[in-house]
Amino acid sequence: MLNYSLHLQDGNCWQFGAQNGAEEWLATIAAIMRLEPADGVKFPRILFYQSGTANFEFTHVRTRLNYLARNSTWFVDHPDSFAVWCRDIVTDVVCRLVLNSSVAGIDLQTMMFFDLPIFMKSIFLGGIPVHGALIRKGNKGYILIGKSGAGKTTCCRRLPGNWMAMADDEILVVKTPDGRYYAHPFPTWSDYYLNRNLRPTWDVQQAVPVSALFFLQQDKTDSVHVLPAQNAVIYITDSVMEICHKFWHRADKLLQRRMRCMVLDNVCALCRGIPAFTLQTTITGEFWREIESVV
């Protein structure tokens, strides 16, 4: 069995493995996220298997299921695509997949749930997933936040050559043990699904320090304004919940409340340490100059 590993800047590391029909699916995910094979590592494992397959011989999964059946319940269960069995998402995780390429959208939906245990453990460590774009200049990263249609992807496409767009839809912000914040780019799963001929990939292990947060607003002129921390907390929390809702809405209610409280605490801590701004942009202006004027 081929394994892959993921290393995040907060020290959160995973080893991924698959069997019983999920091997090709995992290999595709690993290619999209630029993960390298890594056997023999001792990180917590995320174990994938395909539901309904015969000859269930995945010893590690069977062992984990026997243990988890006595110590936890299904955390998330979407019968038509994905289910996660775990214990607080802090140790090994078992994921059941329903892979059926003949049903439109199922494989895409399954891909989107791949992030769940990764995001959840990072929340436990002080991080948050953000619905936003990640851009960088040199060794400084900037997060552009806005709802769908706010212009995140457009801004990424319009950056000049000395800037780099790392992600335009999902970001994982992690907190290091010494209190610094880094952002990891995560795939735009729908972009991959709709553009398979282009085979877009994302280097999720390439983290950049977070220097500022910008909340996008379309306007007639480019400008930037300081955003009070209390407003930033509200906007970022909404952005986090846009991602987490797809994971949580069928989870245990008590755990949902617990995670919402942790997200709010993490967002408040982030806003105390990272400056936030409103960035008003036009379709033809040089918005990046507004960013450069305040950082």
The tens digit of pLDDT for each residue in 36-54 reads: 888 766 777 788 877 764 3
Confidence of residue 70 (pLDDT cuts 50, 70, 90): very low
Give the pair of three-digit tokens for residue 58. Answer: 């995945």
Give yes or no for residue 58 having a pLDDT over 90: no
Q: What is the mean pLDDT of the chain?
A: 82
Detail the DSSP E strand segments found in the chain.
Answer: 4-7, 13-19, 45-50, 74-78, 82-85, 93-97, 128-137, 140-145, 164-167, 170-175, 181-186, 208-218, 223-226, 276-281
- pTM of the predicted protein model: 0.86
Give the pair of three-digit tokens for residue 175. Answer: 């907190």
Confidence of residue 248 (pLDDT cuts 50, 70, 90): confident
Distances (CA, A) of 59 to 27, 29, 63, 66, 226: 20, 22, 6, 11, 55
Domains and CATH numbers, the chain: 4-124 (no CATH), 128-292 (3.40.50)
**15-24, 58-67, 259-268 — which is least confidently predicted?**
58-67
Q: Which residues pair with residue 95 across a beta bridge? A: 48, 84
**16-30, 106-120, 216-230 — which is least confidently predicted?**
106-120
* Section 156-168 average pLDDT: 95
* Section 17-34 average pLDDT: 85
Confidence of residue 55 (pLDDT cuts 50, 70, 90): very low
Give yes or no for residue 149 having a pLDDT over 90: no
Q: Which residue has the higher pLDDT, 268 or 90?
A: 268
The pLDDT assigned to 47 comes to: 80
Three-class DSSP category at 167:
strand
The pLDDT assigned to 67 comes to: 47
Q: Which residue has the higher pLDDT, 201 or 237?
A: 237
The pLDDT assigned to 100 comes to: 59
The pLDDT assigned to 144 comes to: 97
Single-letter amino acid code for the residue at 154: T
Give yes or no for residue 82 having a pLDDT over 70: no
* Section 16-20 average pLDDT: 82
Cα–Cα–Cα angle for 266, 271, 273, rounded to 5 degrees: 100
In this structure, which long-range contacts are made by residues 102-110, counting pairs with CB atoms below 8 Å and at least 24 apart in sequence? 106/80, 106/81, 107/25, 107/193, 108/189, 108/190, 108/193, 109/78, 109/80, 109/81, 109/82, 110/25, 110/81, 110/82
